[in-house]
Amino acid sequence: MPVINSLCVFCGASTPPDSRFLDAAELLGRKLAADGIELVYGGGALGLMGTVARAARDNGGKVTGIIPHFLTKIEAKLEGISETIEVETMHQRKRLMFERSDAFAVLPGGMGTLDETVEMITWAQLQLHKKPILLVDVLGYWQPFASLIEHVITNGFARPNTRDFVTVVPGVDDILPTLSQMRISAEPVSMPVAE
Model confidence pLDDT, tens digit, residues 125-156: 999 999 999 999 999 999 999 999 999 999 99
Of the pLDDT bands very low, low, confident and very high (cuts 50, 70, 90), residue 188 is: very low
Please check whether residue 128 is in contact with residue 121, taking contact to mean a CB–CB distance below 8 angstroms. no
Q: Is 29 inside a domain boundary?
A: yes
- Is 187 within a domain? no
3-class state of residue 133 by DSSP? strand
- Domain assignment of residue 118, yes or no: yes
Q: Which domain holds residue 68?
A: 6-180
Sign of CA dihedral 141, 147, 148, 150: positive
Assigned domain for 103 exists: yes
Q: 133-157: b or e for each residue (b if 16 or more CB lie within 10 Å)?
A: bbbbbbeebbeebeeebeeeeeeee
pTM (two decimals): 0.93
Task: Assess if residue 188 is contained within a domain.
Answer: no
- 115 domain-assigned: yes
Q: How far is CA 154 from the centre of its chain?
A: 26
Please state the length of the chain: 195
Residue 40 lies in a domain: yes
Tell me the CATH number at 114: 3.40.50.450
pLDDT on residue 190: 54
Neighbours of 53 (CB within 10 A): 30
Judge whether 189 lies within some domain: no
Q: Mean pLDDT over residues 166-188, rounded?
A: 86
Distances (CA, A) of 37 to 3, 56, 72, 73: 9, 9, 26, 29
All residues at 6 or more sequence positions from 104 whose CB lies less than 8 Å from its CB, including other chains:
7, 8, 9, 10, 117, 120, 131, 132, 133, 134
Question: For the chain, what is the domain count?
Answer: 1
Question: What pairs with residue 65 in β-bridges?
Answer: 41, 84
